[in-house]
Amino acid sequence: MKIFLIPALLLVLVSGCAEVKPWHRNILAQRDMQLVPDKIEAYIDDHIYFSKEASTGGSGIGGGGCGCN
């Protein structure tokens, strides 16, 4: 369970480091830069992996389940 300390430590290290003004965010607003740029692809992929692997989730919560696993 110590592995869950890693994200906390990394976040402490990077917080406050950035200096990004609103007029610097044009790249961040583009579709390719979204955390999930292709929702349909992500949904279908998640469904395949959910039906074939023992682990699931992580990127988000909620959504219809499946009797396949």
Partner 1 sequence: MAATKKNHRIKEQLALATCSLLSQQAGAIESNWTFDSSLAFYSETDRVSVSTGMIDLSGTLTEGNKIDVSAVYDTMTGSTPTGSVENSTVQTQTGVSGSGGFDSSGAPTSLAPFEDTRLAVKFNWEHENSGRFRTTYGGSSSVEKDYTSLGYSFGIALDSSSKLTTYEFGFAGAFDTISQTGGSTPDPLGDVTNSETYGEGHRNSYDLLFGITNILSPSTLWQNNITFSVSDGYHTDPYKVISVVGNEQDRQALINAALQDAADSRSVNVADLPADVVAAITRNFDAFEVEFTRLYESRPDKRRRTSWYSKLVTRLANNQTIHLSYRYYTDDWDVTSHTIDYRHTFKMGDDSWTFEPQVRAYQQSAADFFHRSLVRGESLPEYASADNRLDEVVGATVAVKFGKQIGDNGEVRFRIAGIAWRAEEAVYDETDAILFQVSMRLGF
Distance in Å, CB of 15 to partner 1, minimum? 7
| Contact indicator for 63, 44 with CB cutoff of 8 Å | no
Residue partners of 66: CB distance under 8 A and separation at least 6:
47, 50, 51
Distance in Å, CB of 20 to partner 1, minimum? 5
- Tell me which residues touch partner 1 (CB under 8 A): 1, 3-4, 6-7, 10-11, 14-15, 17-18, 20-35, 37-41, 43-44, 47-49, 52-69
Distance in Å, CB of 42 to partner 1, minimum? 10
